[in-house]
């Protein structure tokens, strides 16, 4: 396998770098924190994968419901009540709005998971520097390049794509049922839903932060 000349592999001595001078108690504490951080990172990744699969199953169900609602007759000859006609036309709008609302929550949750993943990786790198275990630095140096994709970042981009898709569907079905005015109103509602959810979730996280403590064993 040919390695590009522009790619410089890290030295293997990085794995066996001497740790800074520490007493036995501090070294044992650093080792324990490193083990806890690695376990927590694996737990966060497992929760992120589980959450993504759950949301995608929910979105598939909503897609099926949306497709089924589009097959309902809207202009049959025996429709004598206009309220029933409008109710059937409103079903795709309601389903698409529900999908958009859930997709915004999905996007916020994956973005938070991505930031937490970066925080844990930073903490692990610092702890490895203290203990002399430079495995994460070595692997990160090996994978450095234009194709070094982050798993949690990929999930965040997937959530953004799903969110935009449901937003477009919601505005499209509103336009087909209510015209330009309805489309403008739905666009305003979509923007306000995103902003209000962002504010409320950010406020909730700021209220939790002062009471948080450092992770212990």
Confidence of residue 98 (pLDDT cuts 50, 70, 90): very high
Q: How confident is the model at residue 149 (pLDDT cuts 50, 70, 90)?
A: low
Percent of the chain with pLDDT over 90: 17
Q: What is the pLDDT confidence band of residue 60, given thresholds at 50, 70 and 90?
A: very high
Q: CA-to-CA distance for 186 and 175, rounded, in angstroms?
A: 9
Distance CA 96, CA 56 (A): 15
More reliable by pLDDT, 106 or 26: 106
Helix 82-131 to helix 135-142 angle, to the nearest 10 degrees? 120
CA distance 209 to 201: 12
Tell me the average pLDDT of the chain: 76
Average pLDDT over residues 124-135: 74
pTM confidence score: 0.72
Q: Tell me the average pLDDT across 87-95.
A: 86
Assign 3-class secondary structure to the chain: CCCCCCCCCCCHHHHHCCCCCCCHHHHHHHHHHHHHHHHHHHHHHHHHHHHHHHHHHHHHHHHHHHHHHHCCCCCCCCCCCHHHHHHHHHHHHHHHHHHHHHHHHHHHHHHHHHHHHHHHHHHHHHHHHHHCCCHHHHHHHHCCCCCCCCHHHHHHHHHHHHHHHHHHHHHHHHHHHHHHHHHHHHHHHHHHHHHHHHHHHHHHHHHHHHHCCCCCC
The span from the first CA to the last CA of the chain, in angstroms, equals: 44
pLDDT at residue number 215? 45
Report yes or no: 106 and 194 within 8 Å, Cβ to Cβ. no
Give the mean pLDDT of 158-183: 88
Residue 25 pLDDT: 73
């Amino acid at each position: 396998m040919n390695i590009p000349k522009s790619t410089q592999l890290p030295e293997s001595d990085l794995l066996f770098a001497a740790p800074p001078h520490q007493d036995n108690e501090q070294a044992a504490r650093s080792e324990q924190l490193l083990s806890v951080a690695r376990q927590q990172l694996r737990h966060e990744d497992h929760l992120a994968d589980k959450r993504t699969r759950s949301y995608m199953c929910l979105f598939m169900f909503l897609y099926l419901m949306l497709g089924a609602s589009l097959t309902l007759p809207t202009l049959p000859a025996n429709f004598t009540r206009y309220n029933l006609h409008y109710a059937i036309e409103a079903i795709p709008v309601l389903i698409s709005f529900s999908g958009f609302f859930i997709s915004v929550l999905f996007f916020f949750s994956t973005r938070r998971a991505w930031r937490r993943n970066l925080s844990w990786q930073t903490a692990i790198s610092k702890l490895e520097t203290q203990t002399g275990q430079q495995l994460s630095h070595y692997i990160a140096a090996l994978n450095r390049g234009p194709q070094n994709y982050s798993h949690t970042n990929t999930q965040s981009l997937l959530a953004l794509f799903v969110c935009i898709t449901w937003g477009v569907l919601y505005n499209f079905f509103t336009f087909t049922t209510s015209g330009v005015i309805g489309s403008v109103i739905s666009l305003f509602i979509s923007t306000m839903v995103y902003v209000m959810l962002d504010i409320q979730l950010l406020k909730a996280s700021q209220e939790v932060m002062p009471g948080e403590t450092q992770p212990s064993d």
